[in-house]
Amino acid sequence: MNLKAALLGGGSWGTTVASLIARNAPVTIWARDETAVAEINESHSNSKYLPGARLNSKLVATHSIEEAVAACDVLVMGVPSQHFRDVLEHATQYLRPWVPVISLTKGLELSTRMRMTEVINEVLPGHPVGVLTGPNLAREIIAGQAAASVIAMEDEIIVRELQQLFHSGLFRVYTNTDLIGCELGGVLKNIIAIAVGMGDGQGAGDNTRSALITRGLSEIIRLGVAMGGRPETFAGLAGMGDLIATCTSPQSRNRHVGFELGKGRSLKEIIDEMVMVAEGVKSAPTVMALGEQYGIEMPITHDVYSVIQGEMTPRQVFRGLLKSTVGAESEPG
pLDDT digits (tens, 9 = 90+) for 111-153: 999 999 999 999 999 999 999 999 999 999 999 999 999 999 9
Q: Quote the pLDDT of residue 333.
A: 62
Same domain flag for 131 and 199: no
From 177, 210, 228, the end of a domain falls on 177
Q: Are residues 55 and 96 in the same domain?
A: yes
- Residue 37 sits in a domain of what CATH number? 3.40.50.720
214 in a domain, yes or no? yes
pLDDT single digits (tens) 207-222: 999 999 999 999 999 9
Whether residue 192 is found in the same domain as residue 172: no
Which structural domain range is residue 78 located in?
Answer: 5-177
One domain, residues 161 and 298: no
Structural domain contains residue 333: no
328 within some domain: no
Sheet of strand 27-30, all strands in order from the earlier edge strand to the far edge: 60-62, 27-30, 5-8, 74-77, 101-103, 129-133, 147-152, 171-176
Distance CA 166, CA 150 (A): 10
Q: Which of 4, 58, 189, 323 is catalytic?
A: 189
Quick one: 190 and 313 in the same domain? Answer: yes
What is the CATH number for 192?
1.10.1040.10
Kind and range of the H or E run holding 41 = helix 34-43
Q: Does residue 226 sit in the same domain as residue 269?
A: yes
Question: Does 163 share its domain with 200?
Answer: no
Q: Pick from 142, 158, 135: which is nearest to 49 by CA?
A: 142
Phi (first) and psi of residue 280, to 5 degrees: -60, -30
Strands 171-176 and 147-152: parallel
Pairing of strands 147-152, 129-133: antiparallel
Number of domains in the chain: 2
Same structural domain, 21 and 133 = yes
The verdict on residue 10 lying in a domain is yes
Q: Which of 156, 177, 198 finishes a domain?
A: 177
Segments of the chain with pLDDT less than 50: none
27 domain-assigned:
yes
Same domain, 301 and 241: yes
Q: For residue 332, is it within any domain?
A: no
Question: Beta-carbon neighbour count of residue 34 at 10 Å?
Answer: 11
- Predicted TM-score (pTM) of the model is 0.93
**Which of 127, 153, 177 represents a domain boundary (last residue)?**
177
293 shares its domain with 233:
yes
Chain Cα centroid distance, residue 104:
6
Identify the pLDDT of residue 100. Answer: 98
Whether residue 278 sits in one domain with residue 212: yes
Query: How crowded is residue 268: how many other Cβ atoms within 10 Å of its Cβ?
Result: 9
4 is catalytic: no
Residue 331 counted as domain residue: no
> Burial level of 35, CB count in 10 A (0-12/13-18/19+)?
exposed
- Tell me, yes or no, whether 78 lies in a domain: yes
pLDDT of residue 321: 65
3-class secondary-structure state, position 108:
strand
Can you give the pLDDT at residue 330?
A: 66
